Amino acid sequence: MNLIQTFESNSLFFYISIAFISMLVGSFLNVVVYRLPIILQQGWRQECLIFLEQKEQTESTDTFTLSHPRSHCPSCKHPVSAIENVPILSYLFLRGRCKGCKTAIPLRYPLVELVTAILSILIAVKFGVTLQTCSALLLTWALICLTLIDADTQLLPDNITLPLLWFALFISIFNVFIPTETAVIGALSGYLSLWSVFWLFKLATGKEGMGYGDFKLLAAIGAFLGWKMLPLVIILSAFVGTFIGIALIAIKGRDKSSPMPFGPYLSIAAFIALIWGHEIYAAYFNYSGL
């Protein structure tokens, strides 16, 4: 009996395996969320210096990648060992503090691992042992990463959005979620819809209401889910954004005029549409009598 047959015959083992793998992925996502913006900023700085024909004021031979330097405590530089990097369990065992200097470890790290596991299990329950689960997991993990990066830096890196778009178009060849024609129309519709809103808002107010990363993200979502899901995604993102915005203002006293990233709301809406989109549409048409 191969692994796929084992998963099909034992759902509990399948869900436990997905949870374990996704917690490891969640730990890696924490690394990407922290390091990728820094890597991009360093690259942009180098490009600017080359364009301006200038040199770095201080020479540095250190490289900064997703794997180098080794993860360490920012306070005491204590290197994080493998046993201290077990998702969720290490945080509980260390009681949320660095082993070296006892500085508090941000709660966000185990929460990302836990949320990644929960959302991945929802995917597994929804789609079962199928190619849809594999594809939906990659989409979900990418959306989690983009959500956190955008919330931190108001960036939606092309390094994630564009591969996500091309991957969605690729799997459409095999009709994993939707056929290729629907995926292509979804990608075009997703990009052009926000692009149009961007320019209408800019012409009316002289301000930029969103970034080009939002266009690319919605294009990738459209390529995954198809153009028919895009109205639902946009409406849901507006509701999610309004709810979270009001909550931030009420709880944290956030300035109403300060910019808010739109990527997290698109990502949350896309996940909802991925899991419950067809049910939401069916309920709407049934309620409206259409």
**120 and 12, same domain (yes or no):** yes
**Same domain, yes or no: 109 and 176:** no
Which of 77, 103, 128 is the last residue in one of the domains? 128
pLDDT tens, 50-96? 888 888 766 555 678 888 888 888 888 888 888 888 899 999 998 88
**Tally of domains in the chain:** 2
| Per-residue pLDDT tens digits for 234-290 | 999 999 988 888 887 777 766 666 778 899 999 999 999 999 999 999 998 888 766
The one-letter amino acid at 217: L
Q: What is d(CA 247, CA 235) in angstroms, rounded to the nearest whole number?
A: 18
Whether the pLDDT of residue 21 is over 90: the answer is: yes
Determine contact, residues 156/216, Cβ cutoff 8 Å.
Answer: yes
| Co-location of 278 and 241 in the same domain | yes
- State whether 123 and 81 are in the same domain: yes
Same domain, yes or no: 116 and 150: no
pLDDT tens-place string over residues 90-127: 999 988 898 888 889 999 999 999 999 999 999 999 99
Distance CA 95, CA 91 (A): 6
Give the phi and the psi of residue 129 in degrees, each rounded to 5.
Answer: -85, 80
Of 66, 95, 128, the position where a domain reaches its end is: 128
Q: Give yes or no: residues 153 and 278 share one domain.
A: yes
User: Which residues fall within 8 angstroms of residue 281, CB to CB, at 6 or more apart?
Assistant: 232
Distance, CA of 86 to CA of 110 (rounded, Å): 10
Q: Do 34 and 19 have their domain in common? A: yes
Rounded to whole angstroms, the Cα distance separating 91 from 54 reads: 45
The SS3 assignment for 64 reads: coil
Same domain? For 62 and 155 the reply is no
> Are 280 and 156 in a shared domain?
yes
Which ranges in the chain belong to alpha helices (H)?
3-9, 11-51, 89-93, 108-127, 131-153, 158-172, 180-205, 212-225, 230-252, 263-288
Give the distance from CA 165 to its chain's centroid.
13
Boundaries of domain holding 31: 1-128
Distance of CA 249 to the CA centre of its chain: 24
Domain end point (choices 128, 160, 187): 128
With H, G, I as helix, E, B as strand and everything else as coil, classify residue 188: helix
